[in-house]
């Protein structure tokens, strides 16, 4: 049976990818830095490799003896130092690519981000080719665009790129916790009365899609958008979520033009004074919350036979059940 290296193994997505692979008969080599968290992953069909893929020697050693790599690991935050993003998301990625080339690894599946599509505009049914390669909203986006470009330019590499939108589920460290915290403090920022259309994705569906990228002969040399295929108004999703959690949603109605101008000023000041803590408002945050963005997943449906395994409603209910037990 094939042996798959999974980076970012103890991260939110990484854990689900490991579960998906093991349940379908694969052997997994889990790769991560934190020794304690890594040891907790070790079990039947899951071996561990402790290290940092930003170290080239370590990354190359990790790829030895595996059949494929699913690269989930990344520095994934809105704000920080440019060099940190380039080091983790570009150099680290290319270290793994070099390892794949040296050890003749059959397939390299790269988890990129649909944040590379983000613009200060409504964008519906975005196709994989609709990348704005001069996107400068933040360093994370820039690093993902550069990494994609370098992967695509690498000869003799069987690569696949996946761009999953708005991952959530049990264990989510980002989207839903941020909404819950905002709701409890100042209210959830709401623009245009929450009528902007957004895509979300159950993390289980992303793990499933990544397995399909390993298995499909059509996948090599292609990029794929992944969502639940259920775009809905932002406010409708919020109402469903908070009703399920048994929490009253509180909204902070804002003007997108005013907030975008303010976020530009704040970001400029943060950069001048070298403040690395995330600002309360960012240009990327406004673009995400104030404008519609939906992805066309027809390519994944047609080429990977991707059919979402869990609906948005099911995913929210599963999260709420776990949340209400805590």
CA dihedral 129, 135, 139, 145 (to 10 degrees): 20
Q: Residue 42 has what pLDDT?
A: 96
The residues near 40 (Cβ < 8 Å, ≥ 6 apart) are 10
Task: Count Cβ atoms within 10 A of the Cβ of residue 154 and give its class: 0-12 exposed, 13-18 middle, 19 or more buried.
Answer: middle
pTM above 0.95, yes or no: yes
Q: Residue 1 has what pLDDT?
A: 74
Helix/strand/coil for 28:
strand
The pLDDT > 70 percentage for the chain reads: 100
**What average pLDDT score do residues 85-107 get?**
98
pLDDT tens-digit profile of 295-313?
Answer: 999 999 999 999 999 999 9
In 112-259, DSSP assigns E strands to: 123-126, 159-164, 167-168, 188-191, 197-198, 201-202, 222-226, 232-233, 251-254
pLDDT tens-digit profile of 82-94?
Answer: 999 999 999 999 9
| Rounded CA separation 181/296 (Å) | 31
Using pLDDT thresholds of 50, 70 and 90, give the confidence band for residue 172. very high
**What average pLDDT score do residues 200-210 get?**
98
């Amino acid at each position: 049976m094939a042996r798959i290296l999974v980076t970012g193994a103890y991260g939110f997505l990484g854990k689900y990818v490991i579960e998906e692979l093991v349940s379908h008969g694969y052997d997994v080599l889990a790769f991560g830095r934190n020794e304690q968290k890594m040891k907790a992953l070790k079990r039947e069909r899951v071996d561990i490799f402790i290290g940092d893929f930003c170290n080239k020697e370590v990354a190359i050693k990790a790829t030895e003896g595996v059949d494929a790599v699913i690269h989930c690991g990344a520095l994934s935050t809105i704000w920080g130092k440019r060099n940190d993003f380039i080091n983790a998301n570009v150099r680290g990625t290319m270290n793994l690519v070099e390892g794949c080339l040296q050890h003749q690894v059959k397939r390299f599946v790269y988890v990129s981000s649909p944040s590379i599509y983000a613009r200060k505009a409504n964008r519906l049914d975005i196709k994989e080719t609709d990348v704005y390669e001069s996107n400068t909203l933040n360093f994370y986006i820039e690093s993902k665009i550069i990494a994609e470009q370098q992967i695509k330019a690498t000869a003799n590499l069987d690569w696949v790129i996946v761009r999953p939108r708005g991952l959530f589920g049990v264990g989510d460290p980002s989207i839903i916790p941020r909404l819950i915290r905002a709701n409890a403090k100042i209210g959830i920022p709401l623009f245009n009365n929450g009528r902007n259309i957004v895509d979300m994705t159950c993390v289980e569906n992303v793990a499933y899609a990544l397995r399909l990228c390993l298995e499909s002969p059509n996948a090599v040399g292609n990029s794929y958008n992944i969502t639940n295929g259920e775009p809905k108004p932002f406010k409708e999703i919020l109402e469903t979520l908070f009703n399920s959690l048994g929490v009253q949603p509180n909204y902070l109605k804002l003007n997108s033009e005013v907030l975008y101008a303010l976020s530009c000023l704040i970001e400029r000041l943060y950069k001048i004074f070298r403040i690395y803590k995330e600002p309360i408002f960012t240009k990327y945050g406004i673009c995400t919350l104030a404008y519609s963005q939906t992805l066309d997943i027809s390519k994944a449906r047609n080429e990977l036979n991707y059919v979402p395994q869990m609906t948005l409603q099911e995913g929210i209910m599963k999260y709420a059940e776990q949340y209400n037990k805590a």
